[in-house]
Amino acid sequence: MTVFVMGASIHLVGDSINHRLVLNGYQLHLSVRENPMMKKLDPPSLIDSFELLYFYDEELGHYMWYLPYFLCFLLFFNSTFVSVQSKTTHAKGFWPLALLNSTYYWYLVTEGQITPLFITTTLLMTIMWLYQRFVNGNRLDINGRFLLYTFHMTIILVAVWTSFFWTDEVLRTKYASSLIYVPEPWSVYSLYGKRFF
């Protein structure tokens, strides 16, 4: 809980500063160093401070925030296995809700830049499911199926989203240091959407 709260706090402080920067002309689709606003700073060494702020907000804060979050998902998922003989439950709104939930997770994954953590969590859930299914002979209840399907659908949505901007040079430059290239929706909006709104 402490790690979660600290990560959320770091993120909120970083975001409040980031929103002030945007109001003053900061362009979200560019890296900190390439931003015209940052190039005007005097002394230029101040850019290092803003890069550190970006690291705390967008990387460290997000991982401190989401690591406990996904750990709770794994613990919950582990409790959703039932014996094969138990009655199966079906919900009428399963697929629309799964699509809606995966769209929400798509936003968390892309905007939070937590794709490696999300993929790892999904792989762990899949391995747990395979082990329980084929070794222990258990199956998922409706909650476990919902969570597993939602996470897999989210990965598909993230892959489709990334494919739209796969060859975008500006976004590629911003996320060059990322482990996995996934552009943030706000960066895409900053680059392409601002002229329409």
Residue 176, burial from CB neighbour count under 10 angstroms (0-12, 13-18, 19+): exposed
The pLDDT confidence band at residue 11, using thresholds 50, 70 and 90, is confident
Q: Which amino acid is at 57?
A: D
The pLDDT confidence band at residue 197, using thresholds 50, 70 and 90, is low
Q: Out of 37-51, 62-76, 132-146, 180-194, which region has the weakest mean confidence (pLDDT)?
A: 37-51
86 C-beta neighbours (distance < 10 Å), count: 10
For the whole model, what pTM was predicted? 0.84
Residues 6 or more apart in contact with residue 46 via CB below 8 angstroms: none
Q: How far apart are CA 106 and CA 154, in angstroms?
A: 5
pLDDT more than 70, % of the chain? 99
pLDDT digits (tens, 9 = 90+) for 25-58: 888 778 888 888 888 888 888 888 888 888 887 7
Is 60 in contact with 6 (CB distance < 8 Å)?
Answer: no
**Looking at residue 152, what is its pLDDT?**
98
Vertex 119, ends 101 and 58: CA angle to 5°? Answer: 85
